[in-house]
Structure 1
Amino acid sequence: MSVLSLQSPSATGFFVWSLLGVLFAAVPLIAWSRIARTRGVGYATAAVLFAAGGLLVAIQHGGVPAVPRADAHLLFAVAAPLLIVLGVRLEKGQKGHASEAWGRRRSTAVGVLGTQFVLTLAASALYFLMGAGASVPPATAVPDLPPGLIALSEGSSCGSSSCARSVTVGSRDGLTPAEIVRRLDRPSGWTCRPNGWLLDRRPRCVGVTETNGKVQLNVTLSDLIP
Structure 2
Amino acid sequence: MVAVLCVLVVAVPLGCWAVLARTAVVGAVVGLLLAGGAGVLLAAGAGLLDLRGLFELFLWYPLAAALLVGAGLRVERRLRGVQPDAPRAPRTVLRVHAVVVTAVAPLCALVAFTAADVPPAAAVPSLPPGFTLGEQTAGCGSGDCWREMSVAGPEGMPSEEVVRRLGLPDDHCHANGWLLDRRPLCTRAEVNGGSIRLYVSLGDLIG
> Where do 1:1-226 residues align within 5 Å?
21=7, 24-97=9-82, 99=84, 102-103=87-88, 105-117=89-101, 118-129=103-114, 131=115, 135=116, 137-138=118-119, 140=121, 141-146=123-128, 147-151=130-134, 166-171=148-153, 173-184=155-166, 186-210=167-191, 215-224=196-205
- Using the aligned pairs only, state the percent identity: 31
Q: 1:24, 1:52 → 2: CA distance?
A: 11
Richer in helix (by share):
1
Equivalent residues of 1:36, 1:88 under 8 A apart: yes
Q: Give deviations 1:152-173, integer Å, cap 9, x for gaps.
A: 78687966x7676554433461
- Tell me if the contact between 2:159 and 2:195 (Cα under 8 Å) persists in the aligned partners: yes
Report the residue type matching 1:77 in the other structure: P
Q: CA RMSD in A?
A: 3.6
Taking CA–CA contacts closer than 8 Å with sequence separation of 6 or more, which of the two structures ends up with the larger relative contact order?
2
The TM-score, its normalising length taken from structure 1, stands at: 0.68
Figure out how many residues of one structure are paired with residues of the other and give that number: 202
- Give the gaps of 5 or more residues in structure 1: 1-16
Q: Does the 8 A contact of 2:117 with 2:145 survive in 1?
A: yes
2:151 partner amino acid: V
- Is 1:162–1:222's contact at 8 Å kept on the other side of the alignment? yes
Indicate if the aligned counterparts of 2:18 and 2:31 stay in contact, CA closer than 8 A.
yes
Offset of 1:217 from its aligned partner? 2.7
Residue 214 (structure 1) shift: 5.0
Larger-gyration structure (1/2) = 1
The separation in 1 between residues aligned to 2:140 and 2:65, in whole angstroms, is 41
